Homo-oligomer: A and B are copies of this chain.
Amino acid sequence: MISKLINGIKEKNAPVVVGLDPQLSFVPEQILNKYYKEMGYTLEAVAEAIYEYNVGIMDACADFIPAVKPQVAMYEQFGVPGVAAYKKTVDYAHKKGLVVIGDIKRGDIGSTSGAYAMGHIGTVQIGDQKIVPFDEDIVTVNPYLGSDGVKPFIDVCNENDRGIFVLVKTSNPSSGEFQDRIISDDSRPLYEIVADKVNEWGLTSMDGDYSNVGAVVGATYPEMGIALRKLMPKAYILVPGYGAQGGSGKDLKGFFNEDGLGAIVNSSRGIIAAYKNEKYASFGAEGYADASRAAVEDMLTDIRENI
């Protein structure tokens, strides 16, 4: 799978993924009102609205980007209809030729991680039918439970040519509370210990020069990014935190390898809610999708200049 993502990145010269995180306040009024009128103030109305919103963004941006990253929490908050909108978003992204990184941050004991893996990046066997439940290409995984919580995902990656990004050093302000603690018999922070494991796990799922097992490292911690890049030479790094969370192009160089590959930078709010940003306000709410495209082009310029 990682080679498919890399091909997309090379083809579009765009190590960039757009986070489809449809907070209700981002969705333009005209879309919301259309469905409120039709369906009332319901979860179903919101689910239709966020799907239409996503379709607009994907239609406007698909030529410039290799992948999208829907954050499942933003759909789960709208209950079962929201989860259905997540699934429709995944399917539409595939139609547009985009790699789908499901930002699900799952992780549990072995048999349970296996169920998550089958549901999201694998198949379930029902009678004589093999059914694909959610069909993301890659998902994010939380490592707190250790190897037996991660390996079932890797097994499914190998069976179905899929990928995972394991949380190593997250972009949020308090990520250091546990992740940065120094492990005494190693004199290194926990996130480096996790990175060692990501590297080890990754060797069991190579796909060309890189592994299907990647890592999440926040753009907000560029110096840690440099160290982690070296610890996991075969891991693609998914870099959140660009834009609204504070990371910028000059912070990114250290996340990439010398081959110009090895990282893919996510922006969510900065792209999908661009029309609410003064810089792109002239597009208006009606032009939200065009505002997103303009923001993607600016992000690409910033990143290409800096890596």
Q: Is the CB of A149 within 8 A of B124?
A: no
Which residues of the other chain, B, contact A83 by a CB distance below 8 angstroms?
80, 83
User: Contact check: which of B42, B78, B142, B175 meets A146 at CB < 8 Å?
Assistant: B175
- Which of A115, A134, A167, A187 has the largest count of B CB atoms less than 10 A from its CB? A115
Closest to A84 in B: B80
Interface string of A37-48 (1 = CB under 8 A from B): 000111101100
Q: Does A107 contact B (CB under 8 A)?
A: yes
Select which of B71, B178, B182 is within 8 A of A184 by beta carbon. Answer: B182
Say yes or no for A173: interface residue by CB 8 A criterion.
Answer: yes
Q: Which one, B36, B144, B176, B245, contacts A178 given CB within 8 A?
A: B144
Contact with B along A95-112 (1 / 0, CB 8 A): 000000000011111111
| Contact in complex: A134, B73 (CB < 8 Å) | no
Stretch at the interface among A58-66, A190-198, A229-237: A190-198
| A235-249 CB contacts (< 8 Å) to partner B | 240, 245
Identical subunits present: 2
Stretch at the interface among A125-133, A254-262, A275-283: A125-133
Flag whether A13 is at the interface (Cβ < 8 A).
no
> Is A145 a contact of B170 with CB atoms below 8 Å?
yes
Question: A143 — which chain B residues lie within 8 A by C-beta?
Answer: 144, 178
Chain A count of residues within 8 A CB distance of the other chain = 76
Inter-chain CA distance A146–B218, complex, in Å, is: 14
Residues of B within 8 A of A7 (CB): none
A118 beta carbon closer than 8 Å to chain B? yes
Contact, CB under 8 Å: A77 / B146: no
CA distance A71 to B107 in the complex (A): 12
User: Known contacts A127-B41, A134-B79, A144-B167; is A119 also within 8 Å of B73 by CB?
Assistant: yes
Would you call B105 and A146 a contact (CB within 8 A)? no
Residues of the B chain whose Cβ atoms lie less than 8 Å from the Cβ of A199: none
Complex CA distance for A110 and B23, rounded to whole angstroms: 13
> What residues of B have a CB within 8 angstroms of the CB of A205 in the complex?
none
A126 to chain B, nearest CB (A): 5
A135 (CB) vs chain B CBs: closest residue: B79
A145 to chain B, nearest CB (A): 5
Q: How far is the CA of A110 from the CA of B240 in the complex (A)?
A: 14
A: residues with CB less than 8 A from B are: 21, 23-24, 36, 40-43, 45-46, 71, 73-74, 76-80, 82-84, 87, 105-113, 115-116, 118-120, 124, 126-129, 131, 133-134, 142-149, 167, 170-179, 181-187, 190, 193-194, 197, 240, 245
Beyond A77-B119, A79-B119, A107-B142, 5 additional contacts (C-beta under 8 Å) are A42-B129, A78-B119, A83-B83, A145-B170, A146-B172
